[in-house]
Structure 1
Amino acid sequence: MRYRFGTALNCIDGRTQIPVTEWLKAHYQLDYIDLITEPGMDRVLSHGPAYEVARLRENTIVSLTAHTSQVIAVVGHFDCSANPVSKCQHFKDIATSTQVVRSWGLPVQVIGLWVDEYGRIEVVCT
């Protein structure tokens, strides 16, 4: 049996892992989600440093190569210790981060997600 995978570029914050995984499985009919985590993922992807972005790109390629992921989600969330900015700024960072990931030229859909204080997912960009 062949399993369907997705990849989440998410913060390390444990409050976001289950909501993002469940949402991606439900909305993209996936079996598993590869989690690539970094404190303040939306800040790192949108503002660097470049060597961190390059490392995240390499990790994402491992996920796509090993599991043929169908979608990449870039995630930001409320109350982020590593990116303590307004919701509006998070949305800008998520949108910029999504463009950064798209610039890698990977053959998958890239989306931006926001996790609110109740664990609800909001699509920022598709």
Structure 2
Amino acid sequence: MRKFVTVINCMDGRVQKPVIGYLSAKFSADFVDMITEPGPNKILAENKDHTIIQSIKRRIKISVDNHKSKHIAIVGHYDCAGNPVDEKIHIQQIREAIKVIQSWDLDVNVIGLWINQDWQVEEVRPSHSGKLFSKN
């Protein structure tokens, strides 16, 4: 059986390859189901646009139910046109977005990723850890 993971990523083409490479390696995945929106970490963190959030949730459920994905990543990135805020705000939004996704009780592992100015992937630590990123 082929292994899938799921990512809620920005539509920005610059972040697709680094995220796919990172998740494929981290979870030994054969495929990465890509759900894209401009600035998805903001959309989920603010939890206001219920139409888009329901669309994201529906697509995640397809990945989880049909492809048996057990891991979901939410991504924020440097120089995001859909969410032009500084890195600290992105990290806060990623952490909030993780909580929103976890509240859906999908029985999956949820992680946050930050794509820095060098287009490298950094895993966002939970807010209680005191550090922004884990070592890759």
TM-score, normalization: structure 1? 0.96
Moved over 4 A (4+): none
Aligned to 1:105: 105
Q: CA–CA distance in 1 between the matches of 2:29 and 2:73?
A: 13
Aligned to 1:5: 4
What RMSD, in angstroms, separates the aligned Cα atoms of the two structures?
Answer: 1.0
Deviations 1:37-58 (A, max 9, x none): 0011111111131221111111
User: Structure 2 regions of 5+ residues with no counterpart?
Assistant: 127-136
Q: CA–CA distance in 2 between the matches of 1:29 and 1:108?
A: 16
* Letter of the 1:121 counterpart: V
Deviations 1:47-73 (A, max 9, x none): 131221111111100111110012000
Aligned identity (percent) is: 38
Corresponding residue SS for 1:72:
strand
* Letter of the 1:35 counterpart: M
2:93 is aligned with 1:76: no
Q: Superposition pairs for residues 42-121 of structure 1, below 5 Å?
A: 42-47=41-46, 48-121=48-121
Deviations 1:60-108 (A, max 9, x none): 0011111001200000000000100010000000000011000000011
Corresponding residue SS for 1:6:
strand
Q: CA–CA distance in 1 between the matches of 2:104 and 2:55?
A: 12
The higher relative CO (CA closer than 8 Å, separation ≥ 6) is in 1
TM-score, normalization: structure 2? 0.89
Aligned to 2:134: none
Q: CA–CA distance in 2 between the matches of 1:18 and 1:94?
A: 19
* Letter of the 1:69 counterpart: S
Aligned residues: 125
User: Structure 1 regions of 5+ residues with no counterpart?
Assistant: none
